[in-house]
Amino acid sequence: MKDNSILTTKELSKYLKLNEKTIIKMAQSRDLPGFKIGSKWRFYLSVVDEYLQDKIIRFPKKYVSKLPELGSGSFPLSRLIDESCIDLNLKSKTVDGILYELSEIAQKSNITVSIERLVIQLKKREQMLSTAIGEGVAIPHPRNPSDDLFKRAGFMIGRSVKGVNFGAPDNKKTHIFFMLCATDVILHLNLLSSIARLIDKKEVVKKILNAKTKKNILKLLLESERPSISNLSE
């Protein structure tokens, strides 16, 4: 499906795994961007994707509760990460530099198909709107998640001790970077949901900022996700 596709209500319902009545209600309440032709709703695929991604990042408490409808719900991030996906000492002082360092992690972890293409996609997303959400956290991700960019799904964590001016809404420096590597949009939205839940627990972000080792980070993720992982295995 192309990014510039115009979808009917039925097509969008299949894409987002929601029923048509829910799609129409969300469009009427402006929780989904769409337009009417006569009495029928139509939706630009690329606009819907970008809108949902931004809503999940900017307003986790309001939107996260709705996200289990989007595919399988919260996805355990701990299943997509190991020590090779973590860098606790990012050195760059610029946005572009941080994006390149994160892309290097994805390359070393054998996740990205092309570090150059990944950097381009990350930069495009930042040019639209900074993925920094304040409180020292940013969630860089490609503008268009796809299996053409990644060999498999992954999750990176980078930390800058000194912090970087990343365009955060609170004008504070960003220290923690959660980067998503998703092979399709539905998985991408679910991973964003998982991150939103994670960072909503302020003590988790604080512990990541103060963690001494990569093992500490992995243990923290497992502990924070234990209830959801238990539910998935039942």
| Structure confidence by residue, pLDDT tens digits, 104-116 | 999 999 999 999 9
CB 153 within 8 A of CB 85: no
Structure confidence by residue, pLDDT tens digits, 53-87: 666 555 444 444 444 344 444 568 888 999 999 99
CB 142 within 8 A of CB 121: yes
pLDDT at residue number 31: 77
Domain of residue 39, residue span = 6-58
CATH number of the domain bearing residue 49: 1.10.10
Higher-pLDDT residue of 191 and 179 is 179
Same domain for 107 and 196, yes or no, is yes
CB 200 within 8 A of CB 61: yes
Check pLDDT > 60 for residue 33: yes
CATH number of the domain bearing residue 170: 3.40.930.10
Tokens of 71: 């595919």
pLDDT band of residue 139 (cuts 50, 70, 90) is: very high
Same domain for 85 and 52, yes or no, is no
Q: Is the pTM of this model over 0.85?
A: no
Same domain for 42 and 138, yes or no, is no
Task: Please give the order of strands across the beta sheet that includes 40-44.
Answer: 6-8, 40-44, 35-37
Structural domain contains residue 66: no
Structure confidence by residue, pLDDT tens digits, 36-46: 998 999 998 87
Tokens of 145: 């998640």
Give every CB contact of residue 42 below 8 A, 6+ residues apart in sequence. 6, 7, 8, 34, 35, 36
Here the contacts of 2-5 (C-beta below 8 Å, separation 24 or greater) are: 2/45, 3/45, 3/46, 3/49, 3/144, 4/44, 4/45, 4/46, 5/44, 5/45, 5/46
Mean pLDDT of the chain: 83
CB 126 within 8 A of CB 94: no
Please state the domain count of the chain. Answer: 2
CA-based radius of gyration for the chain: 18
